[in-house]
Structure 1
Amino acid sequence: MELEVRHLRVLCAIAETGSLHKAARQLGVSQPSLTTQLRRIERALDGELFLRERTGCRPTPLGRTVLGHARPLLDGMASLVAEARAAALGPRLRIGSTASRALPGWLRRLRWRLPDTETSLLVDVSANALLRMVAAGQLDVAFVHEVEGCPLRVPAGVEVRVLVEREPQFVSMARDHPAARQEVVDLADLAGDRWMVDPSVDGEWAGLRRVLTDAGLDPAYLHGDYHSAASLIATGEAVAPCQPTSGPRPDLAIRPLQGDPLGVRLLLASAPGVDAEVYADLRASYREAALRVGAYRAWLRRQGSPLLGAGQAG
């Protein structure tokens, strides 16, 4: 009997689960069938590979030697299959992102510059989840934001470039909110309001609480996603932090906060070897989205931001 890839999968499944019963379930076969396969493999190698104990199975010295060769072979085979499938499908770019108004422009630029590349997009509220997907080879790039004071967990092997070192977070409120009469709002003017926050956004809940506590505020909170929050904000039930690239709405007022207490860092994470122009396309798209909004454009002008480009600062 010659060992085949399927035999190596059997051995690795038994080692990983520590049980013939669990390995059989993982492989989708019956336990008697798996036991028979293991005996055949052991006969072919002329030695016992696992000790069967009351608590499960553990590799013998010979078993550990065989497994040490089996795992790299299976990993190599999986990589070969993945690369072959990717080559058959043609070039592709798998993008992940937290919510951003820069996404439409970024996708448009990528399609124009890479017409033969299949581009896919996955939007997720969790920046850390997207970073893990880049590390696992499930995404090529991820555009994420990092809440100030709540650093993201960047896996080893993931390359990160800073798009914007600090993007201020504005506040969204009802159009008839008293504070909406001001061009820049002080947190004290929102002392009596409830704040809407999405706790599933990495760092959002902790970052907002810290800023409000530092300002001496102890407001009530509503937990929910920001898309469904708009109707509550428009009717005056809550206020919420929002991206400065948020466009105007007839029922909402979006204003900068005095002193810019809330901020995020915008990052592009990628697998090694991703085209550097992907970053340039994103930066151009973000600039386009930023300059489209009058309040953010005015804020950038006050800061003398390089995003404005020559002739627009000051």
Structure 2
Amino acid sequence: MRKAALQLGMTQPSLTTQLRRIEGAIGGLLFTRGQTGSRPTPLGHSVLSRARPIVADMSALITAARDAAVGADGARLRVGSIGSRVVTGWLRRIHARLPDTDITIHIEVSSHTLLQLLATNQLDVAFVHETAGFPLEFPAGVDRRVLTAREPKFVALAATHPAAGRRVIALAELAGDSWIVDPTADHEWAALRHVFTSAGLDPRLVHVRDNTTAADLVASGEAVRPCQPTAEPTPGTVLRPLLGDPLTAELSLAWRPGALSVVELSALFDDLAAAYTAAATRNDTYRAWLARDAAPPGQ
């Protein structure tokens, strides 16, 4: 229910109320609700099987209507992306290269959601990430090109933290800290738990979805958090690599074949690679890491 509400852009209580109204209109219980989540009843399965084609047809109708609204001669590009410092530079480059194109951007925490939007023709291209050890499920008809096969996760911590003066921090040095994770991000909690379990550590994990609150908790010394190496430290915090890079991700550009030409896709990828390089080199810590450990983006 929580994940469904997030994807729909509404609160969980609002979604629960809406489901109860639907059940009232239909005249029967559609879901059983328990401590482990909600599951369809036999009636719920029947309704779902008949509702899915209707929802798919409505999505196709909306897409066709938007296509018609753009006009037969109008150019349009629907871009999706995970949240990243790279996005602004990527869009700026696309706009400069395609000034007459109607460009929209859809930001998601979840790469899985972006892939589904691609598969259902709601996006043309998407910048996605795949946590090492937790592969994404690419829908049929969606391809990708890897931007970087191994982006490390850094850690954000208070500038007053005892380990803040180190250039590289061992995971064990932070075992006594609370770690902030976003429960809506693909596999972030599972990946962090796996890394700590493998190291024989058991830190406290704190679920926080709001970036402002998370930044304040880190700056105050209440917690630390994993972060993208292209991120910029917020006031009162520093970013540091973890020894041995135990948390990494693969970054890719994903698309639906046929949505764009090979030349167009290549140009979009080059724009993304240039934007990523620019974001990476603005961060002294990541620039040093790249010079020591990694190939340039796109290679």
TM over 0.5: yes
Moved over 2 A (4+): 73-89, 304-309
Percent of aligned positions that are identical: 50
One-letter code aligned to 1:271: R
CA contact (8 A) 2:63 2:122 kept: no
- Greater relative contact order (Cα 8 A, min sep 6): structure 1 or 2? 2
* 1:36-61 superposed Cα distances (whole Å, 9 cap, x missing partner): xxxxxxxxxxxxxxxxxxx99xxxxx
One-letter code aligned to 1:152: L
CA contact (8 A) 1:244 1:296 kept: yes
After superposition, the Cα gap between the structure-2 partners of 1:88 and 1:214, relative to the gap in structure 1 and judged at 3 Å, is: same
One-letter code aligned to 1:116: D
- Quick check: which has more Rg, 1 or 2? 1
One-letter code aligned to 1:102: V
User: Bigger shift: 209-218 or 79-88?
Assistant: 79-88
Equivalent residues in 2 for 1:122-141, closer than 5 Å:
122-141=106-125
Q: Which residue of 1 aligns with 2:229?
A: 244
Query: Which of 176, 182, 186 lines up with 1:192 in the alignment?
Result: 176
Query: Which of 138, 143, 146 lines up with 1:162 in the alignment?
Result: 146
Q: Which residue of 1 aligns with 2:160?
A: 176
1:204 counterpart = 2:165: no
Q: Which residue of 2 aligns with 1:268?
A: 253
Q: Tell me how far apart the structure 2 counterparts of residues 178 and 74 of structure 1 sit (CA, whole Å).
A: 56
Q: Tell me how far apart the structure 2 counterparts of residues 175 and 295 of structure 1 sit (CA, whole Å).
A: 15
Q: Which residue of 1 aligns with 2:130?
A: 146
1:229 counterpart = 2:219: no
Query: Which of 188, 203, 228 lines up with 1:219 in the alignment?
Result: 203
* 1:209-265 superposed Cα distances (whole Å, 9 cap, x missing partner): 101111111011110126130000111111110001112334001000000000011
Q: Tell me how far apart the structure 2 counterparts of residues 264 and 278 of structure 1 sit (CA, whole Å).
A: 21
Q: Which residue of 2 aligns with 1:99?
A: 83
Runs of 5+ in structure 2 lacking a partner? 1-21, 27-45, 48-56
One-letter code aligned to 1:237: E
Q: Tell me how far apart the structure 2 counterparts of residues 139 and 78 of structure 1 sit (CA, whole Å).
A: 13
CA contact (8 A) 2:147 2:298 kept: no
Q: Which residue of 2 aligns with 1:306?
A: 296
Classify the secondary structure of the residue corresponding to 1:264: strand
Q: Tell me how far apart the structure 2 counterparts of residues 147 and 308 of structure 1 sit (CA, whole Å).
A: 18
CA contact (8 A) 2:82 2:128 kept: yes
* 1:99-134 superposed Cα distances (whole Å, 9 cap, x missing partner): 111111101000000000011111111110110001
Q: Which residue of 1 aligns with 2:271?
A: 281
Classify the secondary structure of the residue corresponding to 1:237: coil
After superposition, the Cα gap between the structure-2 partners of 1:89 and 1:190, relative to the gap in structure 1 and judged at 3 Å, is: farther
User: Bigger shift: 86-95 or 210-219?
Assistant: 86-95
Number of equivalenced pairs: 242
Q: Which residue of 1 aligns with 2:286?
A: 296
After superposition, the Cα gap between the structure-2 partners of 1:226 and 1:149, relative to the gap in structure 1 and judged at 3 Å, is: farther
Runs of 5+ in structure 1 lacking a partner? 1-21, 27-54, 57-72, 310-314
Q: How far is 1:308 from its partner?
A: 11
CA contact (8 A) 1:94 1:139 kept: yes
Classify the secondary structure of the residue corresponding to 2:290: helix
Q: Tell me how far apart the structure 1 counterparts of residues 59 and 239 of structure 2 sit (CA, whole Å).
A: 51
Q: How far is 1:87 from its partner?
A: 3.0
Q: Tell me how far apart the structure 2 counterparts of residues 307 and 220 of structure 1 sit (CA, whole Å).
A: 34
One-letter code aligned to 2:274: A
CA contact (8 A) 2:80 2:127 kept: yes
Q: How far is 1:78 from its partner?
A: 8.2
One-letter code aligned to 2:254: A
The two structures have a TM-score, normalised by structure 2, of 0.75
Q: Tell me how far apart the structure 1 counterparts of residues 95 and 218 of structure 2 sit (CA, whole Å).
A: 36
CA contact (8 A) 1:195 1:238 kept: yes
Q: Tell me how far apart the structure 1 counterparts of residues 169 and 59 of structure 2 sit (CA, whole Å).
A: 56
Q: Tell me how far apart the structure 2 counterparts of residues 271 and 198 of structure 1 sit (CA, whole Å).
A: 28
CA contact (8 A) 2:158 2:220 kept: yes
